Amino acid sequence: MTRAWLDPDVAGVLCARGGYGSLRAVDLVDWAAVGAHRKVFAGSSDITALHTRFHAAGHATWFGPMIGTRAFVEDTAAREHLRRALFTGVTGWRGTGRTPGVARGAAFGGNLSLLFDTPPPAGAVVLLEDVDEEPYRLDRMLTGMRRTGWFDDVAALVLGSWTGCGNAAPVLADRLGDLGVPVVADVPFGHCAGQLTLPLGVSVEVDGDTGVVTVVP
């Protein structure tokens, strides 16, 4: 990835697959060199590990579909969402308001199972989704994160898809609903049909009453 990022003829890096092994790859990237250049970076799933490092380096990135998968090739809506994000931009998105209130912060997050040991910056708006994790495993991760203070300084939460996670809603409500911050759920990002491409590392405003998330210029 470092070679592609530093190539002057490359405008951006779009991750083809979810990226099993991304946690190991993080240690192989020359982040000092990468941090000196601003380019497009997009990916999701295990690519979350790279998003968090880009965030630490001050880069905005895109949490979007994996372009080398059949799910992307056969999903017209997901392809269009990615195209619009890269060439037009994103002004906001809508979900379901779960916990009231309004808050602003830098968007941070991605795949829950890749984030449990990477606390967000203070005041962040955290985006979470996952795939093929049973509710008891989500409970285990979220409870462990609560105990380590992972959520102590977040400004708001935005919850995406939980495909293959059974009935995740009760666990999410129990583990996240009493944090005292606005929560918007049911936003179609992550491992789902028609997934949105959402920006990370930019300021957003979360309205837990209306379920609207707005990118702050």
**CA neighbor of 207 nearest in space, from 110, 99, 63:** 99
Under the banding of pLDDT at 50, 70 and 90, the label for residue 117 is confident
The pLDDT value recorded for residue 120 is 97
* Residues with active-site annotation: 45, 129, 191
Residues 6+ apart with CB under 8 A from 44: 15, 18, 63, 64, 65, 66, 110, 111, 189, 190, 191, 195
The pLDDT value recorded for residue 1 is 81
Under the banding of pLDDT at 50, 70 and 90, the label for residue 60 is very high
How large a percentage of the chain has pLDDT more than 70?
A: 100
How large a percentage of the chain has pLDDT more than 90?
A: 92
**CA neighbor of 168 nearest in space, from 116, 128, 198:** 128
**CA neighbor of 80 nearest in space, from 202, 189, 212, 195:** 195
pLDDT at 73 over 80: yes
Task: Report pLDDT digits (tens) over 17-46.
Answer: 887 888 898 999 999 999 899 999 999 999
Strands 61-63 and 40-43, sheet pairing: parallel
Average pLDDT, the chain: 96
The pLDDT value recorded for residue 21 is 85
pTM of the model: 0.96
Q: For residues 116 and 144, is the Cβ–Cβ distance under 8 A?
A: yes
Averaged pLDDT, 12-17: 94
Task: Report pLDDT digits (tens) over 148-197.
Answer: 999 999 999 999 999 999 999 999 999 999 999 999 999 999 999 999 99
The one-letter code for the residue type at 39 is K
pLDDT at 4 over 80: yes
| Cα-trace Rg, the chain | 16
